[in-house]
Structure formats: structure tokens, C-alpha cells
């Protein structure tokens, strides 16, 4: 009726309608609620009690049968992005089934919901965007960030993963389309670390993009302007950090994800004492690599301080790993961090980081500018420094050439080579190259997965330094004992927890990371190590301390098994 409506833009009458919902889910609403829906697995009794008869076909399935069917359907898709879309659809239809599938088939579906497929999903986010997942906070919302947080349907949030989309994986500035990353990472928090899905909040902070292709794209979903910098950026981030703490309390974990170098280091430095913050690109990477090193030295012999480390690449990953190794050495040898750093050398795009370059180095490289003659190539650095461990974090492929690997092998009985750059095409060398050029002597791990290699009738299984080993268990550990700030010792504890899960049998085969198929057990152990350290340091606020922290962690973990509805 005209009197009850508004005149719309087209001059027509637009009737006002009140959106409403029932408070107890039943019937059609229950089937449409992804958090509670069980699809064909609703039992006869549940169908009676919740007015579901007629809304479902008569068959009753078990959750296992549903997983089998979905598996069959997903495996029909040849294109990874189609699998990704089908997985997201499942998550939006039946969350418990999504997590059951992901947990039970983690090795198959991790690369779908996370890297590498999530990268393509972010690039095409505008066209595959269906239902909004996560919270978008843009420059337009300045002054109202708390109101936005209050629009989110859940109140009891424990983990936020936030990005500003400036450096999504190796793909650069994807602006608002970076949302795929927090969504994917939080799926892993739940699937691998057992944090309840309702306690996870993905957030994208949209301050514009400098990606011209996106700015020119009529379907781009974000703010069509260049990135805000300086005060405008800092003020929005500050408002966000304050709002988060006021809304969810001081135990809310905020994980910074895929921020560009300059902001990543600054944000971590600024908020690490006032908030519970964690940067996976810097700290998570460092912890997972140190975990691999702690396993590897059991094979190589000696202690960490007996080794010399050379990095190719001195960015977030390289300097983050270097700093954590130095910290571990300084703790174990009771020496200063400055002394411990002397065991570690970095090469960036201009050559070895040395003191004569101090004037032109970015601040985060300064601690590594040791006294040495300038060296321009990696090969010369390997020959001069004689590292026992070579770590690639340059983002540039094929840098560990045959000469470099041979030089490592001529200096070491068992050279440890970690080619961490992603994706596979950017790996500093392949597993096959590392084993072949070292004549089967290298211990090898990489950032992207490589298949086992046969060299002279022996099978070599490369390790993958996947961040997903660490951050879910690390986060669970912080949450379950009520920590309010991340102390570096907790990162060391996470590395030790990871290394503890590598069996003697693995080590005998040169495998330095545990099998990913046991990831829930690995996460529970990492959480227990982190919580134990937090209790020891007086950082844990939940008392009394549980007697068996591994069992406690396991009990805290979300299970996607269907509950029975009353
Ligand atoms: P970044 O951009 O912060 O750092 C890259 C660094 O490499 C910069 O210091 C740059 O100057 C240097 N560099 C570029 N070209 C070089 C060259 N030709 N020779 C020497 N140095 C060069 O990036 P980041 O976050 O540190 O990531 C680097 C790589 O590490 C990426 O490929 C990323 O995928 C990978 N990574 C792997 C893991 C893992 O395996 N778990 C975790 C994080 C990052």
C-alpha cells in the first residue's frame, strides 16, 4: 500500500518489510542454518521433533555416508578452483560436515581451502563471491568500527585473523579480495587446532588498493582508491585494535596475515606488548622452521650453536626465522642475543648483508649486518661463510644452483637445505636437485610440497615446513590457558612441541617434519608445550594448571561429529 511504503529510485512504491527470525531453530530454518544443519543425517526422532518431515527425502544417512558422497562429488572436479567453490558451498550449507571432511582428509583438502588454491580464489574473489564470509572494515567506517564488530552475529570470539590484503601469498596487492586468506586460515584453526568455528572471526581491513587491474575492474568489491598510508592508515588500525580489545577482552588473539613488510613489522612491534598478537608470516614461519632445525640436529649431531646458518632472502620470513634461531641459541648457550646472531648470515638481492651496507639497509636487516668484506653472489657467500644450513626465503626460484648445492656438499657431510619459497615454481631448488646434486647426502625441506625422490635406489622423503603445523596448535595453547601477550619463549616452546612429534623412524629416513595426517595430535602437543611454558612463566591466567596438558588440549578441541538434537 502506498501509504506504508517508500517511493523507490524508479518512482515505484517499495513496501517496507520487517526481516524476522524464530529463536529456536526448527523446520526449514534448521535446514538452512549451516551451524546446525545435518542434512539427510537428521534422525527420525529429530525429524519428528523439529518439523522436518516432508522437507527432506525419506532416506536417513550417517555422517560417514555423507562424507563418502561429498568426497565422490569433489573428486569429480578436475579444476582446483571448482573444488574450492564446492568446499565453500558445503561450509555454508553444513559446517559440521565441512569440518568432518577437512579433518578426515586433511592432506587432500588443505591445499584446496588454503594455499595454493586459495590464492586463485582471492584473485577471482569478485566473480566467485557468494555469501559474505567475515567482516569488512573500510576507511569509510572510521569512527564506527565497534558498531561493525557488533553487527557480527557471534559475541564469544577467541581468534581474529585480519589482513589488509596488501601482500596476499606471493600474489601481491589484492585489496579487499584478500578476504579468502583470513577465511581459509580460520578454517585451519578449527580443523587442525580445534578452535570452535563460532569463536573465529575473519576480518579484512580495506584501505584501498594500488592494484590498477582491480581499480579498473567494474566488478571489484573493495574501495576504488589507492591505499591510504601514514596517519590515515595508522588511525584506522588503532581504532580497530582498541575496538577488538574492548569488545572481546584482552585474551582475544589477533593474527596479522599477509600485510606488506613495512606494516607487518610495525604492527607487530606496536601491539605485541598491549595485545595478544601474532604474525604468522614472521613468527609462525620462524617457529615451524626452528621446529624442523631442532629435529634435523638430531640427525646432523651437535647443538644448534655448533651450526652456521646462511639465508637467501632477508624479508619477513628470513629475518623472523633468523631471530628465533638466535634466541634459541642464546637461551641454550646462556650467551647474548648479539653473540648468537653472529652464527647467522643473510644474503638479500644486493648480496651479503654486511656492516659496510648499514647506511642503506632497512631497519629489520640491521641486526644481521656483521663485519665482513662485501660479497655479491650466493655462491661466493657459501664458499666464504661455509654454512652448515642453507635456507631460502627470497621468493625467487632456482637460486640454489648445482654449484651452490655442490659447494654446500663439499663443506658438509650432511648439508641441510631448506628451499622455502612458494609456490613450487619459486622454490630455490627442487627436492630432486637437492638430493641429486648432493649425491643423496642432503637433508631437504621446502615450503611447497615435493614428492619423494628415488636416488640410486634409495627413496628420499622431503619435509614440508608448512606453517599449518604451528599456528593452529599455538593459538589453541594461548587460548586454553588464557595468555594475554605472546612471549618469544612461547614460540620456542611451539617449535619444541613440533620437533617432539618427529619419530626416530622418521629421523632415520632424514624426515624432519612429522606426518601431516596426525595434525590434530601434533596441534594438541604443541598447545600443551605452549601452555606449559606459559604456566612456567606466569603468563597463564586460567588456574589451576591442568595436570595433563595434552589431554586438556584434546578435550578443548572442537569436534565436528553431529550432536543429537532434543
Ligand atoms: P619478503 O618479500 O618479505 O622477503 C623477500 C626477501 O628476499 C627480501 O629481503 C628481498 O630483498 C629478497 N630477495 C628478493 N630477490 C632476491 C634475490 N634474487 N636474491 C636474494 N634475495 C632476494 O617475503 P617473505 O614473506 O620473507 O617470503 C619470502 C618467501 O618465503 C616467499 O616465497 C614465501 O612464500 C616463503 N615463505 C615460506 C614459508 C614456509 O615455508 N613455511 C613461510 C613464509 C614465507
Phi and psi (nearest 5°) for 358? -50, -40
Distances (CA, A) of 566 to 31, 32, 48, 411: 15, 18, 10, 68
Close Cβ partners of 140 (under 8 Å, ≥ 6 residues apart): 223
Which of 327, 373, 376, 379 is CA-nearest to residue 351? 376
- As given in the structure block, the three cell numbers for residue 181 are 586468506
Confidence band (pLDDT; 50, 70, 90) for 24? low
Q: Tell me if residue 185 is catalytic.
A: yes
**Quick one: which of 191, 182, 169 has its CA closest to 285?**
169
Ligand 1 in reach of 465 Cβ (< 6 A)? yes
Looking at ligand 1, which atom is closest to the CA of residue 423? 34
CB 172 within 8 A of CB 210: no
Determine whether domain 19-104 maps to CATH 1.20.1370.30.
yes
Return the CATH number of the domain spanning residue range 112-274. 3.40.50.10380
pLDDT band (50, 70, 90) for residue 154: very high
Q: Please give the full DSSP string across 53-70, using - where no structure is assigned.
A: BTTB-S----HHHHHHHH
**pLDDT tens digits, one per residue of 349-393:** 999 999 999 999 999 999 999 999 999 999 999 999 999 999 999
pLDDT mean over 120-147: 91
**For residue 253, what is the enclosing H or E element?**
strand 253-256
pLDDT digits (tens, 9 = 90+) for 70-121: 999 999 999 999 999 999 999 999 999 999 999 999 999 999 999 889 999 9
Return the pLDDT at 134.
Answer: 95
271 included as an active-site residue:
no
Output DSSP code: residue 560: -
CATH topology of domain 283-468: Rossmann fold (3.40.50)
- Rounded CA-CA distance 218/227 in Å is 18
d(CA 287, CA 498): 9
> What pLDDT was estimated at residue 406?
98
Atom 39 (ligand 1): residue with closest C-alpha? Answer: 447
Q: What span, in angstroms and rounded, lies between the C-alpha atoms of 387 and 381?
A: 9
Cell numbers that stand for 173 in this block: 596487492
- Marked catalytic residue, from 114, 435, 529, 562: 114
312 lines ligand 1 (CB under 6 A): yes
Is residue 434 scored above 90 in pLDDT? yes
- With CA atoms as reference, report the closest residue to 376 among 396, 399, 400, 350: 350
Q: Nearest-CA neighbor of 388 among 402, 368, 408?
A: 408
pTM over the 0.85 mark: yes
Distance 421 CA to ligand 1 centre (A): 6
Question: Is residue 3's pLDDT more than 50?
Answer: no
Q: Does the CB atom of residue 396 touch ligand 1 within 6 A? A: yes
pLDDT score recorded for residue 402:
98
d(CA 319, CA 309): 12
User: Per the structure block, which three cell numbers stand in for 432?
Assistant: 630432486
Q: pLDDT of 297-353, one tens digit each?
A: 999 999 999 999 999 999 989 999 999 999 999 999 999 999 999 999 999 999 999
Number of the ligand 1 atom closest to the C-alpha atom of 289: 41
CA-nearest residue for atom 33, ligand 1, is 421
Q: How far is the CA of 86 from the centre of ligand 1 (A)?
A: 32
Of the residues 264, 315, 351, 382, which should be mutated to test ligand 1's pocket, given the most ligand atoms within 8 Å of the CB? 315
pLDDT at residue 276 greater than cutoff 70: yes
**Which residue of 261, 363, 395, 491 sits with most ligand 1 atoms within 8 Å of its CB, as the best mutation to test the pocket?**
395
- The ligand 1 atom nearest the CA atom of 261: 3
Q: How confident is the model at residue 17 (pLDDT cuts 50, 70, 90)?
A: confident
Indicate if ligand 1 lies below 6 Å from the C-beta of 37: no
- H helix or E strand, kind and range, residue 348: strand 344-348
185, 245, 343, 365: the active-site residue: 185
Q: Which residue's CA is the nearest one to ligand 1's atom 40? A: 447
User: Ligand 1 pocket, 287 CB below 6 A?
Assistant: no
Q: Is 4 helix (H, G, I), strand (E, B) or coil?
A: helix
Count of Cβ atoms closer than 10 Å to residue 204 Cβ: 27
User: How far is it, in rounded angstroms, from Cα 273 to Cα 162?
Assistant: 18
Are 532 and 497 within 8 A, CB to CB?
Answer: no
pLDDT band at 169 (very low <50, low <70, confident <90, very high): confident
Map residue 136 onto helix, strand or coil. Answer: strand
Two domains, one topology: 19-104 and 112-274? no
Q: Which residue has the cell 641486526?
A: 367
Tell me if 158 sits within 8 A of 186, measured CB to CB. no
Best of 393, 400, 512 to mutate for ligand 1, by most ligand atoms within 8 A of CB?
A: 393
Strands 159-163 and 200-206: parallel
The angle that helices 180-193 and 471-481 make with each other, rounded to 10 degrees, is 70
Ligand 1 centroid–CA 120 distance in Å is: 20
CA quadruple 216, 219, 223, 229: dihedral sign: negative
Total residues found in the chain within this entry: 566
B/e letters for 474-492, b = 16+ CB within 10 Å, e = fewer, are bbbbbbbbbbbebebbbbb
Which range, of 18-27, 36-45, 485-494, 502-511, averages the lowest pLDDT?
18-27
Q: Determine whether the shortest distance from the Cβ of 392 to ligand 1 is under 6 A.
A: no
Cβ-proximal residues to 143 (8 Å cutoff; 6+ apart), any chain: 239
Rounded to the nearest whole angstrom, what is the distance from the C-alpha of residue 352 to the centroid of ligand 1? 15
Whether 425 lines ligand 1, by a CB cut-off of 6 Å, is no
Backbone angles phi, psi at 92, to 5 degrees: -80, -10
Structural domain spans, the chain:
19-104, 112-274, 283-468, 486-556
Q: Are 554 and 502 in contact (CB under 8 A)?
A: no
Residue given cell 577467541 in the structure block: 158
If you take atom 12 of ligand 1, which residue's CA is the nearest one? 313
Amino acid at each position: 500500500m502506498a501509504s506504508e511504503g517508500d517511493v523507490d529510485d524508479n518512482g515505484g512504491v517499495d513496501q517496507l518489510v520487517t526481516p524476522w527470525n524464530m529463536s529456536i531453530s526448527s523446520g526449514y530454518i534448521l535446514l538452512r542454518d549451516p551451524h546446525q544443519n545435518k542434512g539427510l543425517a537428521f534422525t527420525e526422532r529429530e525429524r519428528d521433533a523439529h518439523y522436518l518431515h516432508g522437507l527432506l527425502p525419506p532416506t536417513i544417512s550417517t555422517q560417514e555416508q555423507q562424507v563418502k558422497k561429498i568426497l565422490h562429488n569433489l573428486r569429480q572436479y578436475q579444476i582446483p578452483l571448482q573444488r574450492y567453490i564446492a568446499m565453500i558451498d558445503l561450509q555454508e550449507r553444513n559446517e559440521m560436515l565441512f569440518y568432518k571432511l577437512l579433518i578426515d582428509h586433511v592432506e587432500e583438502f588443505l591445499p584446496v581451502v588454503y594455499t595454493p588454491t586459495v590464492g586463485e580464489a582471492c584473485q577471482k574473489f569478485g566473480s566467485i563471491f557468494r555469501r559474505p564470509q567475515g567482516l569488512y572494515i573500510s576507511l569509510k567506517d572510521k569512527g564506527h568500527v565497534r558498531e561493525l564488530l557488533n553487527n557480527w552475529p557471534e559475541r564469544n570470539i577467541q581468534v581474529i585473523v585480519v589482513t589488509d590484503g596488501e601482500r596476499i601469498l606471493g600474489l601481491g596487492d589484492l585489496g579487499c579480495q584478500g578476504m579468502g586468506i583470513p577465511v581459509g586460515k580460520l578454517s585451519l584453526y578449527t580443523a587442525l587446532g580445534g578452535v570452535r568455528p563460532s569463536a573465529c572471526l575473519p576480518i579484512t581491513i580495506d584501505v584501498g588498493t594500488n592494484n590498477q587491474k582491480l581499480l579498473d575492474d567494474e566488478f571489484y568489491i573493495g574501495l576504488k582508491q589507492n591505499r591510504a598510508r601514514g596517519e590515515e592508515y595508522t588511525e584506522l588500525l588503532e581504532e580497530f585494535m582498541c575496538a577488538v580489545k574492548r569488545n572481546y577482552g584482552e585474551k582475544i588473539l589477533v593474527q596479522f596475515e599477509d600485510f606488506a613488510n613495512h606494516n607487518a613489522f610495525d604492527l607487530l612491534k606496536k601491539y605485541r606488548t598491549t595485545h595478544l598478537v601474532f604474525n604468522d608470516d614472521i613468527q609462525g614461519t620462524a617457529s615451524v622452521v626452528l621446529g624442523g632445525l631442532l629435529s634435523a640436529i638430531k640427525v646432523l649431531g651437535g647443538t644448534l650453536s655448533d651450526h652456521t646458518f646462511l639465508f637467501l632472502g632477508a624479508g619477513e620470513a628470513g629475518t623472523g626465522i633468523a631471530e628465533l634461531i638466535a634466541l634459541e641459541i642464546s637461551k641454550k648457550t646462556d650467551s647474548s642475543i648479539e653473540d648468537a646472531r653472529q652464527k647467522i648470515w643473510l644474503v638479500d638481492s644486493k648480496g651479503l648483508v654486511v656492516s659496510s651496507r648499514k647506511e642503506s639497509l632497512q631497519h629489520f636487516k640491521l641486526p644481521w649486518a656483521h663485519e665482513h668484506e662485501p660479497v655479491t653472489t650466493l655462491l661466493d657467500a657459501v664458499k666464504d661463510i661455509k654454512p652448515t644450513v642453507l635456507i631460502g626465503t627470497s621468493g625467487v626460484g632456482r637460486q640454489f644452483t648445482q654449484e651452490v648445492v655442490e659447494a654446500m656438499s663439499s663443506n658438509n657431510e650432511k648439508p641441510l637445505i631448506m628451499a622455502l619459497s612458494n609456490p613450487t615454481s619459486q622454490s630455490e631448488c627442487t627436492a630432486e636437485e637437492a638430493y641429486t646434486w648432493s649425491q643423496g647426502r642432503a637433508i631437504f625441506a621446502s615450503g611447497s610440497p615435493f614428492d619423494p625422490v628415488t636416488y640410486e635406489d634409495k627413496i628420499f622423503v622431503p619435509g614440508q615446513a608448512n606453517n599449518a603445523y604451528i599456528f593452529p596448535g599455538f593459538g589453541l595453547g594461548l587460548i586454553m590457558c588464557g595468555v594475554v601477550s605472546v612471549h618469544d619463549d612461547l614460540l620456542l616452546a611451539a617449535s619444541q612441541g613440533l620437533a617432539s612429534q618427529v619419530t626416530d623412524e622418521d629421523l632415520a629416513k632424514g624426515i624432519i617434519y612429522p606426518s601431516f595426517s596426525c595434525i590434530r595430535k601434533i596441534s594438541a602437543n604443541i598447545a600443551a608445550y605452549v601452555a606449559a611454558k606459559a604456566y612456567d612463566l606466569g603468563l597463564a591466567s586460567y588456574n589451576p594448571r591442568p595436570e595433563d596438558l595434552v589431554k586438556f588440549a584434546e578435550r578443548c578441541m572442537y569436534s565436528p561429529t553431529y550432536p543429537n538434537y532434543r
